[in-house]
Amino acid sequence: MEWFRPVPSPGQRPATVSVLSQFDREAVGSGVLLPHDRFLTCAHVVNCALGREDTTCAERPAQEVLKVLVHGPDGHAHACTARLAVWIPPGAADGVEWDGDLAVLDIVEPLPRDVRPPHWQAMAEGQSVRAWHGSGLHATVATARVISCDGRIGYVDGEGLSGVAIDHGYSGGPLWSGEAGAVVGLVAAALTPPHHPTNGTPLAYSPQHVARRSWGIPWQRIRAELARAGAEHVLGRPAPAAGERAVDPAHRALAAVLGRALADPQRRADCARTVAWRCGHHHRTDGSAPSVDEFARLLTTDARALPALAEVLHPTTPQAAAELLAAGRMSGVPRLLSPGELGELLGLLGEVPLGTAARFPSVVRAALPLAELPGALLAGADWDSPDRAVRTARLTALVEYLEGLRGDSRPVPEGTSVVPGLLRVVAYVAALCPPAPRDGLHRWSTAVAARLGIHQAALEERRADAHEWAERQRTPMAAPRVLVRLTTHPDGDGTRHYRLWLWCDEGAGPRRVSDGGDRLRTAAQAAEDILTVIEPLHRALPAGTRPVIELIVDREGLELPVDQWEWPGPAGLVPGVLGAEYPLVVTCPELVQRSGERFKAALRHRWARLDDGGAVHIGRSTGGKNGVYALLMDQLDAPLATVDGVPADVRVEIVQVCLAMGMPVVLWDRDKGGEAGSPAVRTVAGTPPRRLPETVRAYRAKTLGCPQSFPGRPVLAWADADRDMPRLELADPTET
C-alpha cells in the first residue's frame, strides 16, 4: 500500500519497547508493538525482568505487571505499565534451540497516535536485518543476515567483525528488514564461545569458535504459536504466508462501493488523508490519490479504517456510508467504532462515578443476558480502582470485546440496523449515572447510532429497557428479615451454648416473636428455632424472595460461624444450613454506640450512597487501624469495604474499625489470614451492594457442594440505616 505507507528510508526503524528490570529499572530485553496497544516479546525476557533465577521457567508468573518504555519514531521514550496477557513458555530444549518462548503484554496507558505497530513479513534466507539492544539506543544497532530459516528457527550472522554484535539484552526485540519495511522475527538468543568447564569463564577466542551468530523466532512460527494458544487475535489480522496474497472476502464489494462513491480522485484523496490521519497512518503528500483497490485493502487490514471512513462520509453521503458498512460485514476485520468514537467513549466511561464503575460486570450481564461473556473479562475488583490507567485498560478490553457482539434480535424498522451489544451496554451504564455523565453517554450513542443507520426509535426502546432495569436496582430490598440477638455462653468443657431473642420485620418494624433468651441452646437447636420462625413467612412472599437473617451480635460475635449452623430437619431428610438457605448478615450496634454521635451521621450518609458511592478495598498495604482511619476519612461516600489479604488478628481489628466508623457494608473471609487474597471475596466483591446478601448466600451454597472450587467463609456485615432496630439492652460504653 504505497500511498498509505511510503517506501521506508534506509535508516528507518520500528517503534520498540524496552522491558525493564523490576528491581533496578535497567533494560533486560526488548519487544515489538502489536495493534491495540500491545507488544510481543520473549517469555524468558519477562522472567528476567521479574528476577527469576531460571529464565526459562515455564510457570506463568504470579506478578503480571511490568514497567516498560515505548520508543516512538521521534526517539522519545514513553514510560508505561504493561500487564501480561498471553504466556507461551519456552519449550523443551533441542540442543541450543527451544520452542515457545513468547509473551504478549497489554500496555495500560494509551500511546501517542504516531507510535504505531510495524508491519510483519515472513523470514527468509538472505534477508539483511537489524536489531537493537533493549535500551533502544540508536548506537546499539547491530546488522546481520539471515543465513538459514526453516520456519521454526532463523539463524542470523553478523556482517564482518566490525560494529556491534547481537548479544545479551537484545532478546525479544525485532529483527527488522529495512528493504521490506517489516519485522521478520524476534531475537531469541546469541551463540557464544565455549566456557571453561571448571570456573565457567569464557575461553580465549579461537578462529574455530562461533562468532556473531544468533538465532531468532521467525514470523511464521510466531503466528503458529499464537494460533495454537488461541491468541492469534492479538495480531489484529493474520498476515498472509510467504508468497501468498490473501484477498479479504469483502474486498471486491468495498472496492465497488468506493468506485461509485469516490470516483473523483480529489474527493478520494481528501477522504483518504482524513482516514489516514484518524487511524495514525502515513500517506503520500504529492497530491496523488490512492487507487480504489488500495483504499479497499486498507479497509480490510486496519480494523478502525472502515468506521473512520463511514464517519467521514455519513454527513454528506449517508447512503454510501451505509453501503460500505454493509459490505464490511463480510470481513472479520473492521471493528464497530472509529478511533475518535472509541477514544470519546473511553473518556466518558472513565468519568462515571466509581460506584457505577464497580458495577460494570453486573451491568454488562444485565444488558446482555443471552451473550457468552468470558469470565476473565469481567472478573476482578479493580473496575473502580482510583488508578485511572488501570480502569482504562479494563474498559478498553471490555469495549473491544463488546464491539464484536452483533446485537439483539428485536424487530427494527425496515432498512435500519439492529442495536449492537455495545450500545445496549452503554444505555444501561447511562441509566445508573447522574445527569452529567448520562447526558454525555446519550449524546455519544445517538451520534454513533446515526452513523450506523440505527433508527432512533430502536435506540430509545433500549434506553427504556435500561431505565426500567435501573429503577428496579434502586428499589430497596422488600424481603422480610428475621432479627436474631445472639449471645454466647461457653461451658467449662469448652463447648458453646447460645441465648436467642428473635424479632420479625415485614416492613412495619420489628415485632418480638420469642419469649426471651432464658434457655440455652446448642448451635443445632438455635438453627431449628430460627428456621421455625422463618417458615411461616414463606406463605406471603412472592416466588424467588427469601427472608434475610440478620444476626445482632457484640464485637466478639462478629466471626461466629452461624452461617454454617445446621438443623438436620424432620426425620433427618432435608437439612437446613442457615447461611446456604437464606441470606445471612451480621450487625453490631455496640460498635456504633461506642463511637457516640461522631459516626452515626456517617452511617446514614454512606447508606444513602449505597447505589453509587463505590467501595474501598483494604489490604495488607493499607496498614493497621490508622491506615484504615485515613482511608475511610478520604473516601467519605463509599458504603462498602472489602477486607482481604491481611492476617486474621489484624483483620478482626480492621473490621471493627470499619463498623465503628459508620461503614454500613463490610465484606471479609473469616477463613483467610495473611494470604494474597480470598477467592470468596474476589468472586462476590463486584456485585452491586444491594445484591450482596443474596450473592454471598449463593457462594455459601456452592461451598457446600464444591469446597475445593469455592473455598472460604465469606462474612457480610450489614447495617441498614433505613430500617429500625429492636430495642436492645447494650452495655454502657462508659462502663466498659
Alpha-carbon gap, residue 520 to 488, rounded angstroms: 9
* 547-578 confidence digits (pLDDT tens): 999 999 998 899 999 999 998 877 667 888 99
How far CA 39 is from CA of 102, 250, 393, 711, in Å, comes to 11, 28, 14, 36
What's 202's DSSP letter?
B
Band of pLDDT at residue 507, cut at 50, 70 and 90: confident
Band of pLDDT at residue 78, cut at 50, 70 and 90: confident
Comparison of pLDDT for 285 and 217, the residue scoring more: 217
What Rg, from alpha-carbon coordinates, does the chain have? 31
Which of 23-32, 92-101, 461-470, 682-691 has the least mean pLDDT?
92-101
Q: ∠ CA 242-247-249 to the nearest 5 degrees? A: 145
Look at residue 242 in the predicted model and tell me its pLDDT: 42
Look at residue 543 in the predicted model and tell me its pLDDT: 66
Q: Is the confidence at residue 635, as pLDDT, over 70?
A: yes
* 125-139 confidence digits (pLDDT tens): 989 999 999 898 888
C-alpha cell at position 432: 445508573
How far CA 515 is from CA of 63, 363, 522, 663, in Å, comes to 56, 45, 17, 32
Cell 539506543 belongs to residue: 137
Look at residue 699 in the predicted model and tell me its pLDDT: 93
Q: Is the confidence at residue 465, as pLDDT, over 50?
A: yes
Look at residue 445 in the predicted model and tell me its pLDDT: 96
Strand, helix or coil for residue 365: helix
* 206-245 confidence digits (pLDDT tens): 554 455 688 899 999 998 898 888 887 788 654 444 444 4
Cell 469516490 belongs to residue: 262
In the chain, pLDDT over 70 holds for what percent of residues?
86
E strand or H helix at 158, and its extent? Answer: strand 154-158
Look at residue 409 in the predicted model and tell me its pLDDT: 58
Q: Is the confidence at residue 373, as pLDDT, over 80?
A: no
Tell me the mean pLDDT in the region 279-302.
87
Q: Is the confidence at residue 362, as pLDDT, over 60?
A: yes
Helices (H) and strands (E) in the chain, counts: 23, 24
Look at residue 239 in the predicted model and tell me its pLDDT: 43
Look at residue 284 in the predicted model and tell me its pLDDT: 82
Alpha-carbon gap, residue 266 to 392, rounded angstroms: 39
Look at residue 198 in the predicted model and tell me its pLDDT: 63
**Average pLDDT of the chain?**
84
Look at residue 264 in the predicted model and tell me its pLDDT: 94
Q: Is the confidence at residue 63, as pLDDT, over 50?
A: yes
Q: Centre a 10 Å sphere on the Cβ of residue 411 and count the other Cβ atoms it contains.
A: 7
Nearest residue to 609 (alpha-carbon basis) of 354, 360, 352, 351? 354
Q: How do strand 213-218 and strand 128-131 relate by DSSP bridges?
A: unpaired
Tell me the mean pLDDT in the region 4-11.
54
CB 19 within 8 A of CB 33: no
Alpha-carbon gap, residue 172 to 43, rounded angstroms: 8
In the sheet with 584-587, reading across from the earlier edge strand, the strands are 511-512, 496-505, 481-490, 548-552, 584-587, 714-718, 665-669, 640-643, 615-618
Look at residue 302 in the predicted model and tell me its pLDDT: 85
Residues in the chain: 736
Q: How do strand 665-669 and strand 640-643 relate by DSSP bridges?
A: parallel
The structure's pTM equals 0.52
What's 259's DSSP letter?
H
Band of pLDDT at residue 197, cut at 50, 70 and 90: low
Give the dihedral of Cα atoms 576, 577, 581, 584; nearest 10 deg: 130
Look at residue 169 in the predicted model and tell me its pLDDT: 87
Strand partners, 489: 497
Nearest residue to 185 (alpha-carbon basis) of 172, 198, 173, 175? 175
Look at residue 663 in the predicted model and tell me its pLDDT: 94
76-106 in b/e form (b: 16+ CB < 10 A) is: eebebbbbbebbbbbeeeeeeebbbbbbbbb
Selection from 29-43, 188-202, 484-498 with the highest mean pLDDT: 29-43
Strand, helix or coil for residue 533: helix
Cell 510466531 belongs to residue: 222
Look at residue 565 in the predicted model and tell me its pLDDT: 92
In the chain, pLDDT over 90 holds for what percent of residues?
35
Tell me the mean pLDDT in the region 329-343.
90
C-alpha cell at position 148: 538459514
Tell me the mean pLDDT in the region 471-498.
79
Q: Is the confidence at residue 372, as pLDDT, over 80?
A: no
Look at residue 64 in the predicted model and tell me its pLDDT: 85
What's 134's DSSP letter?
T
Look at residue 538 in the predicted model and tell me its pLDDT: 76
How far CA 15 is from CA of 20, 34, 61, 79, 695, in Å, comes to 16, 10, 26, 14, 47
